[in-house]
Amino acid sequence: MRKLQWVLVSLFVCWCIPVLGDVHKWFDDKGIVHYSDKPNIKKESNELLLTKKKLTSTDATVKITFTVRQLLIAQKFEQLNQLLEKYQSKTDIDIAFESRLSTAYAAFEVNDQSYKQLLDSWVKATPDNYQPYLARAKFFYNQGWVARGNKWSSETKKSQIKKMKGYFIKASKDMHKVLTIDDHTIEVYSLIIRHAMSLGNAKSAESAMEKGLEINPLSYSIRYSYLISLMPRWNNSPVKAIALINNAQEYSSENPKLKLLKGIIYMDVGDRLAIQDSYNLAEKAYEKATEFGINHSITMKQGKNYFRKKDYSKSVEFLNSAIDLYSEDGDYFYWRSKANSMLHKYNNAIQDIKLAEKLSPKDKSINTYKAWLVNRLVYRAYNTAKKRKTKFAIKLYNFAIELDSDNADLFYRRARANMTAVKFGLAVVDLKKAIELDPNDYNYYLSLDYVLAKQKKWSQIISYWSKYIELNPDDSRAYVERGGAYFHKRDFKSSLLDAKSAADMGNVEGQQVYDKYKHLVN
């Protein structure tokens, strides 16, 4: 582990010195980064956000993702084509709109198979427009990575790789179609670069980058996609990456966002250190990356890094900043939800995970975490109730139900807490909901019987036990309970019939009741 850490540290030095000749750094014998002219990060962080926010001002909250998806779901294909073309046209005139164009197409990188049919319908409806093909290419490319999974190659099945390549072939066909219709939309070149590098085709990636920059030499997106492909994880030399960054600065006066490219190298180093659990070193790398301007991606990674360091307050602080800069990525809300949940700020955590779910539907990480959060809330509610803090326990169950409103057990648990608080009306509502969701659970009916008996609502009790018996005719316990309700209603004949039915099934209590009260009918 220590040897690997030093390899990463060496990478840090080799990559950073050529890019920033005016910044000298060294590592002590513990591997800690020191900067001879390092700024005071804590003191300067707010100032940096104010003075350098201009670099990413076009990434502010615009909710492009929802607008694009709503048009697709409503099958308003002509309007969708026009909207995407508007983003492209504005980007051609003013490169500051490029981030909006990228966000609009990123909306189709979703793990939801229902989108496939919608995208096919869009292609069929407007076959002469490039937009639906590019959107579907984005969808297929994302599905390829979903199929592959995020494990190391040695842990990935051949069938997963085969499935991934199948999706990539579909994406490639759609990208080719885009180029035959209109080869001047810059977003397709960013995707071609990513696609080519995923298949290890460096020449195709470089060719796409050059072609894209011929069309719009001010593009950040195209350079960023290619720069990522030049990172050490792809076994590339840093020479090309440094040349790309330096050449881009020629256009930075027209597109200030290009200055952020200098920080990508430090971001990549930070990512590699974080993977190896070297969070303090990763923190230094991310801090260094922000010296070239505030990049919401890096700010988000800082938030993740603080989460992994278990500094949850600091994590939320950075994730707040990242979301202020860019609120179109479900991953940002996912991580802030996790940090808020660790701070017991459950209302904030729930709102964040619900938004993350909308932005990234059917995401496995989000679904897994959501289930974990529900279990955490239930566990805390249970322990809180044991300490007789019923009011707070109910509040925790409220949070859990907000996350999982189809979970019958949650309504049952909240009903039990309300019963303890002598809030029988609320308990009845929850128990009826639990039965609606799961009509076969005996305990739900038993608790409802108890609460309704407090109110002497014998007819309702009989009705619910009848419903249960219809579904579970061999459960002798239900006949005993319904018989009790008939008894209280003074319908002794029906009561004894139920007791006899239970007794015939071998129920001891039913036999005892029948023997004790059969004289009432006789």
Question: Can you list the alpha helix ranges (DSSP code H) found in 387-407?
Answer: 390-403
- Domains of the chain (ranges plus CATH)? 59-229 (1.25.40.10), 363-447 (1.25.40.10), 456-522 (1.25.40.10)
Length of the chain equals 522
Q: What's the rounded Cα separation, in Å, for the pair 95 and 91?
A: 5
Q: What's the rounded Cα separation, in Å, for the pair 147 and 154?
A: 15
Q: What's the rounded Cα separation, in Å, for the pair 232 and 269?
A: 9
Question: Can you list the alpha helix ranges (DSSP code H) found in 421-475?
Answer: 424-437, 442-454, 458-471
Q: What's the rounded Cα separation, in Å, for the pair 239 and 96?
A: 28
Is the pTM value of this prediction over 0.85? no
Q: What is the pLDDT along the chain (522 residues), one digit of tens a residue?
A: 444 444 444 454 454 544 433 332 322 333 333 333 333 333 334 333 433 443 333 344 448 999 999 999 999 999 999 999 999 999 999 999 999 999 999 999 999 899 999 999 999 999 999 999 999 999 999 999 888 877 777 778 888 888 889 999 999 999 999 999 998 999 999 999 999 988 888 899 999 999 999 999 999 999 999 998 888 766 666 788 899 999 999 999 999 999 999 999 899 999 999 999 999 999 999 999 999 999 999 999 999 999 999 999 999 999 999 999 999 999 999 999 999 999 999 999 999 999 999 999 999 999 999 999 999 999 999 999 888 899 999 999 999 999 999 999 999 999 999 999 999 999 999 999 999 999 999 999 999 999 999 999 999 999 999 999 999 999 999 999 999 999 999 999 999 999 999 999 999 998 998 888 877 766
